[in-house]
């Protein structure tokens, strides 16, 4: 479970999640805050680096589309 790829992917996606969380908090955007929290949770609980990356990209696309629509 703790391969180099898993640890690196977890570090990257968790860091992006923290960035989304901070952006959402400063902009008062609940969509970005929830997206950031989901990215952080995915980096902790998903056991595969590939699956974690796919889920994280899907979350980021969803946040982008929701923010683009005005939520």
Are 46 and 55 spatial neighbours (Cβ–Cβ below 8 Å)?
yes
Helix (H) or strand (E) holding 71: none
Does the predicted TM-score (pTM) go above 0.85?
yes
Are 10 and 43 spatial neighbours (Cβ–Cβ below 8 Å)?
yes
Compute the CA torsion angle 54, 56, 61, 63 (nearest 10 deg): 160
Q: Which two tokens stand for residue 59?
A: 């979350």
pLDDT, one tens digit per residue, over 36-55 is 999 999 999 998 999 999 99
Between residues 3 and 16, the one the model is more confident about:
16
Q: Where are the alpha helices (DSSP H) in 1-71?
A: 4-27, 30-45, 49-68
């Amino acid at each position: 479970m703790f391969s180099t790829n898993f640890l690196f992917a977890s570090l990257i996606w968790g860091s992006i999640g923290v960035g989304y969380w901070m952006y959402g908090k400063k902009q008062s955007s609940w969509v970005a805050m929830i997206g950031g929290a989901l990215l952080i949770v995915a980096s902790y609980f998903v056991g595969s680096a590939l699956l974690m990356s796919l889920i994280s990209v899907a979350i980021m696309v969803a946040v982008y589309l929701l923010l683009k629509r005005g939520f």
